[in-house]
């Protein structure tokens, strides 16, 4: 594995582990695709690289052999690592493609025309850009000014993963939008659109609905802002980074992968993929090969992609009975972890909360109930889910509103990950954050909306559900200070909490959720 591209810093042991578990984790991606969290193979492999680069050392240090096989632990850890990132990757890609493509389209059409932007506007943009961290400014410049931008090329050039690249781009657009709004060089309507897209992380369609505008109006504003930023970047010095590439592998491997993805139900091709899985994965590890393949694969059938991932994960016919048993246990591991979370929810989080926090009907009384929207069979399946059964009696209240204990867990993870990300990028204070249960002042709205959006994305609920859920979480944090992974909560009045970063993360959910202040 290339250090520059994959950011694996832990030496040969990590590289060896990558090759050992690569196919196993493709099996996890197949399982995630079945659940609706699908990525093309190239991006799936990027996510595996990211996992080893960012999480591997912590996984090795936290593993307890008395609790099960290491393979099972790795599989479950990867699922929890990958799922929220897949959600964000799709959302960020939607925002960024619209911005870059529309900005370039408008610029091409107006090359011979008098520029709409005044020199004052461009100067203001350049001033705003000068206040960005240098990495954000250089990545934004490379992205907006490239004739044919490639996320893969940029990620390689800046020695970061594609996930971090998209995160940095959205962060940079958000910073510039705030600065332009403060300087008054874009209309208030466009500033609100910019905030909705790049601060609150909404898609174009969501921003249009939220702001009461048409999709075309949002796209036009988005393009205008993109063009204005590009104009401010034009005379800046281009970024300079060394590109490192390896020799391209055989073209017939590329042809095979393209053909199988484009040919749902072609099981002869699928058998060939299974037989040549290691050769294909080695091919995808080559940055230039993956880039060329990605340019040619734009659409895919999600159900068939699950089959392709399964073929890349391994040939079950060649496995021993013992290996098959291990493989089956790995696919069950994630479900068992989810059930364990539900038990921790019931036995540790909920058990000693005051009655008003145990009464979900009070917190969610304004929401529609699932029995009003689903047929009786679907409602029965919800109640029979093992995750709901493990969390009874509290989970029975949640399921009335289409939630489970996993909704609670992923909501806490959403807030933790968001605050951690914003602290690392110095968008908020690096030592603490304030989380409001309700919107208090207009100045708090961007961050408040961002929190709701993150909860909705990661826990897969609507923002209508996210708002009362956030109020409940803030209330619970007053009794469970380590509710949010990596942070300690302290009350900031009756409707807000401070989150302070803690030096170590307790991976035992029973202990973390059971602690009282």
Grade residue 37 by pLDDT with cuts at 50, 70 and 90.
confident
Q: For position 116, what pLDDT does the model report?
A: 46
CB-based contact 119:126 (threshold 8 Å): no
Q: Please write the tens of the pLDDT for every residue from 422-461.
A: 888 777 887 789 999 998 888 888 889 889 988 988 888 8
Grade residue 234 by pLDDT with cuts at 50, 70 and 90.
low
The DSSP output letter for 412 is H
The pairing of beta strand 432-436 with beta strand 487-491: unpaired
Q: For position 407, what pLDDT does the model report?
A: 93
In whole angstroms, what is the distance from residue 226 CA to residue 99 CA? 6
Q: For position 45, what pLDDT does the model report?
A: 82
The pairing of beta strand 496-501 with beta strand 432-436: antiparallel
Q: Please write the tens of the pLDDT for every residue from 169-205.
A: 777 777 777 777 766 667 788 888 877 777 666 677 7
Q: For position 147, what pLDDT does the model report?
A: 67
Q: Give the pLDDT mean for 207-226.
A: 80
Q: For position 404, what pLDDT does the model report?
A: 92
**The whole model's pTM is what?**
0.52
Mean pLDDT of the chain: 75
- Sequence-ordered list of residues with C-beta below 8 angstroms from that of 71, at least 6 positions apart, any chain: 21, 24, 326, 330
The DSSP output letter for 257 is H
Q: For position 245, what pLDDT does the model report?
A: 30
Q: Please write the tens of the pLDDT for every residue from 38-50.
A: 777 777 888 888 8
Q: Please write the tens of the pLDDT for every residue from 393-415.
A: 999 999 989 899 999 999 999 99
The pairing of beta strand 496-501 with beta strand 487-491: antiparallel
Q: Phi and psi for 505 in degrees, rounded to 5? A: -105, 125
134: pLDDT strictly greater than 50: yes
Among candidate residues 479, 484, 498, 471, the one with its CA nearest the CA of residue 413: 484
Bridge partners, residue 487, by sequence: 501
Stretch among 48-52, 242-246, 507-511 having the lowest mean pLDDT = 242-246
- Sequence-ordered list of residues with C-beta below 8 angstroms from that of 233, at least 6 positions apart, any chain: 126, 129, 140, 141, 144, 145
- Sequence-ordered list of residues with C-beta below 8 angstroms from that of 69, at least 6 positions apart, any chain: 326, 329
Among candidate residues 149, 153, 85, the one with its CA nearest the CA of residue 290: 153
Q: Please write the tens of the pLDDT for every residue from 10-24.
A: 445 677 788 888 888
């Amino acid at each position: 594995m290339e250090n520059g591209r994959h950011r694996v810093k832990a030496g040969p042991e990590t590289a060896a582990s990558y090759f050992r578990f690569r196919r196993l984790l493709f099996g996890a991606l197949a399982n995630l695709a079945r659940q609706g969290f699908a990525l093309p193979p190239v991006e799936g492999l990027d996510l595996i690289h990211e996992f080893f680069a960012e999480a591997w050392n912590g996984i090795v240090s936290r593993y307890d052999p008395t609790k099960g096989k290491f393979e099972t632990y790795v599989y479950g850890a990867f699922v929890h690592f990958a799922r929220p990132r897949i959600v964000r990757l799709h959302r960020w890609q939607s925002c960024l493609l619209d911005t870059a493509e529309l900005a370039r389209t408008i610029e091409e059409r107006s090359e011979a025309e008098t520029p709409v932007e005044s020199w004052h506007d461009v100067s203001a943009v350049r001033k705003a850009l000068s206040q960005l961290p240098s990495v954000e400014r250089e990545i934004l410049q490379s992205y907006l000014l490239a004739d044919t931008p490639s996320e893969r090329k940029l990620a390689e050039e800046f020695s970061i993963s594609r996930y971090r690249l998209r995160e940095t781009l959205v962060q940079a657009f958000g910073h510039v939008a705030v600065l332009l709004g403060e300087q008054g060089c874009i209309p208030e309507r466009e500033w609100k659109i910019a905030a909705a897209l790049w601060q609150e992380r909404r898609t174009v369609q969501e921003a249009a609905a939220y702001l009461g505008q048409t999709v075309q109006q949002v796209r036009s504003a988005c393009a205008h802002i993109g063009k204005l930023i590009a104009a401010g970047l034009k005379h800046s010095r281009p970024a300079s980074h060394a590109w490192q590439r390896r020799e391209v592998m055989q073209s017939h491997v590329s042809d095979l992968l393209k053909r199988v993805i484009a040919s749902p139900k072609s099981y002869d091709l699928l058998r060939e993929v299974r037989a040549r899985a290691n050769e294909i994965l080695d091919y995808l590890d080559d940055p230039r090969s993956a880039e060329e393949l990605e340019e040619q694969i734009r659409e895919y059938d999600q159900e068939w992609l699950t089959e392709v991932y399964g073929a890349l994960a391994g040939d079950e016919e060649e496995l021993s009975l013992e290996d098959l048993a291990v493989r089956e246990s790995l696919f069950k591991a994630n479900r068992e972890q989810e059930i364990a979370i539900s038990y921790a929810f019931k036995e540790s989080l909920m058990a000693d909360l005051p009655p008003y926090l145990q009464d979900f009907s009070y917190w969610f009384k304004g929401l529609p109930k699932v029995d009003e929207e689903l047929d009786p069979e679907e409602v029965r399946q919800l109640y029979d889910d093992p995750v709901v059964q493990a969390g009874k009696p509290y989970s029975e209240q949640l399921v009335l509103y289409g939630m489970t204990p996993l909704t609670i867990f992923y909501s806490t993870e959403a807030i933790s990950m968001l605050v951690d990300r914003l602290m690392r990028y110095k968008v908020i204070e690096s030592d603490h954050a304030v989380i409001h249960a309700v919107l208090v002042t207009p100045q708090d709205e961007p961050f408040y909306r961002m929190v709701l959006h993150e909860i909705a994305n990661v826990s897969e609920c609507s923002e209508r559900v996210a708002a009362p859920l956030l109020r409940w979480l803030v209330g619970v944090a007053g009794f469970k200070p380590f509710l949010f992974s990596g942070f300690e909560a302290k009350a900031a009045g009756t409707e807000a909490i401070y989150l302070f970063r803690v030096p170590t993360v307790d991976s035992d959910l029973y202990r973390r959720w059971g602690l009282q202040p």
